[in-house]
Structure 1
Amino acid sequence: MKNVSRTFIASAILGSSLLAAPAFAEQKIAIVDVQGIFQALPQAAEISAAIQAEFKTQIEEVQQLQKDGQFYAERLQRDAATMNEAEKKEIQDKILDVRRQLSEKAQPLEQNIQRRSQEEQNKLLALISQSIDAVSEKENYDIVLNAGAAVFVKDNHDISKQVLEQLNK
């Protein structure tokens, strides 16, 4: 009885795979390297420069705080032997104040820069997606996969260049 059921299950699986094979053969599949396209776009570099310009004053302020903290730490280390306790305490208080200011400013600045970068990258990715849709529709592709999802692909199935050309129009 077990052998009959195993034979029946094996036949069913084999039969369904034979019927499904022609359906997959009719699919037109393409690959696109979204990350490569993103990096090739001149807008990607412009995003970085624009964000640096947008947050320039805050970045400079944080950098100055870092320099101040380093200066005070080096001074304390270098001159500690010749300083009296009041001078040491004053320098240590300055170091603590700089660290506090850095923690208040650096982390929110980093989060704001990351948020703005993500917003701008999402805009570019939306444009890339629209271009992929346009090329796919024009070439009648049924499935378009990201290049990272494929183990092996012939070059004639890669539509990345066409998508990049579509974006540059």
Structure 2
Amino acid sequence: MKQLARQFVATLVLGSALVSASAMAEQKIGVVDVQGVFQAMPQAAEISNNIQMEFKDQIEEVNQLQKDGQFYAERLQRDAATMSEDEKKDLQSKIQNVREQLAAKGQPLQQNIQRRSNEERNKLLGLIKQAIDSVAAKENYDLVLNSGAVAFAKDQHDLSEEVLAQVKKIN
């Protein structure tokens, strides 16, 4: 009786393994180069320009501070031998003041630019996700992977062009 039960269990395990292997073989799997789609999107180029325009005045102010600091430092280095102690102290004070202003304005500006870039990037990645979902549903894909996570995939499984076309339709 025990032996019959063991054979029955072994048959069930073997049968379920064969069924699951055939079920996996029937799955339709695709890959998408998300980074490539992102870079090919016309909106991606606009993001950089829009952010530069949004922070244009602040960027110009920081650039001017950098130029001023460089000018003062070069002047101090070049003319230090002929300057009085008061002139040197005054110039060093100006250099220190410019450094403090750069620290106060430069780092927050960089953080704000980074934050805005991430916000815009996430919006575009959301559009890409929406396009992937649409293409996968339309073509009955069971699984779509990022091509960066896949060691090899045949070109016929690459959905990047379809996703890019769908993203262009969405926006």
TM-score normalised per structure 2: 0.88
What is the deviation of 1:22? 1.6
The gaps in structure 1 that reach 5 residues or longer are 1-10
Give the Cα separation in 2 of the matches to 1:114 and 1:19. Answer: 50
Report the counterpart of residue 123 of structure 2 in structure 1: 123
The TM-score with structure 1 as length reference comes to 0.89
The 5 A counterparts of 1:15-164 are 15=14, 18-164=18-164
**CA distances 1:45-99 after superposition (whole Å, capped 9, x unpaired):** 1000000000000000000000000000000000000011100000000000000
- State the identity %: 69
Q: Distance in 2 between matches of 1:19 and 1:163?
A: 33
Amino acid at match of 2:84: N
User: How many residues of Structure 1 are paired with residues of Structure 2 in the alignment?
Assistant: 158
Unmatched tracts of structure 2, length 5 or more: 1-9
Over the residues paired in the alignment, what is the CA RMSD in angstroms?
1.6
Distance 1:76 1:18 in 2: 81
Deviations 1:84-131 (A, max 9, x none): 110000000000000000000000000000000111111111111100
What is the alpha-carbon distance in structure 2 between the residues aligned to residue 143 and residue 57 of structure 1? 47
Letter in 2 for 1:118: N
Q: Which runs of 4+ in 1 moved over 3 A?
A: 14-20
1:146 CA drift (Å): 0.2
